[in-house]
Amino acid sequence: MQLTKKASYGLIAAVELARTPEGTPRSAAWIAEHYDLPVAFIEKILHQLKRAGLVASRQGCCGGYALKECAARVSVREVLEAQGEGLDLVDCLDGATTCKLTGVCPTKGAWRAMNDRFRELLDTFSLADLANGRTPPPVE
């Protein structure tokens, strides 16, 4: 599994909103210019995050986007899922894909366990953690 550019850019945009002082919206154009990303793509991503309820927007010359919640309460997993990213390590875990090996696959249980740990790890990272350069301790 590899996350898409959309997922990466969306996380960058969300972290930038987490770094922005409360009550100070950040425009999609500013984020795009600051990170040398396509403006239209950042706009589209921020609209998705808005539809998911993670960000709010304000129109006008002082408008832009801001997080709706405290950055410490928004996990990386929430941001990725809000963008429609599939977080399953292999296709057979999503429930929609049918595999001819489903009933006899000797690796599916291991993939399920790794997938669950991966999702748990994504839940341990908040936007505040990323904005402040913190990472969770290594998994034992």
Phi, psi of 139 (to 5 degrees): -75, 135
Assigned domain for 140 exists: no
Assigned domain for 135 exists: no
**pTM for this structure?**
0.86
Assigned domain for 136 exists: no
Q: Quick check: 26 and 40 in contact, CB under 8 A? A: no
pLDDT in single tens digits along all 140 residues of the chain: 678 899 999 999 999 999 998 878 999 999 999 999 999 999 999 999 999 999 999 887 778 999 999 999 999 999 999 998 878 888 777 666 677 777 788 988 898 899 899 899 899 999 999 999 987 666 66
Q: Number of folded domains in the chain? A: 1
Assigned domain for 134 exists: no
CATH of the domain at 64: 1.10.10.10
Q: Which residues pair with 58 in a beta bridge?
A: 64
Domain residues for the domain of 65 are 5-129
Q: What is the pLDDT of residue 63?
A: 83
Rounded to whole angstroms, how far apart are CA atoms 118 and 86?
12
Rounded to whole angstroms, how far apart are CA atoms 6 and 14?
12
Assigned domain for 138 exists: no
Assigned domain for 25 exists: yes
Phi, psi of 7 (to 5 degrees): -65, -45
Phi, psi of 138 (to 5 degrees): -60, 150
Assigned domain for 53 exists: yes
Assigned domain for 65 exists: yes
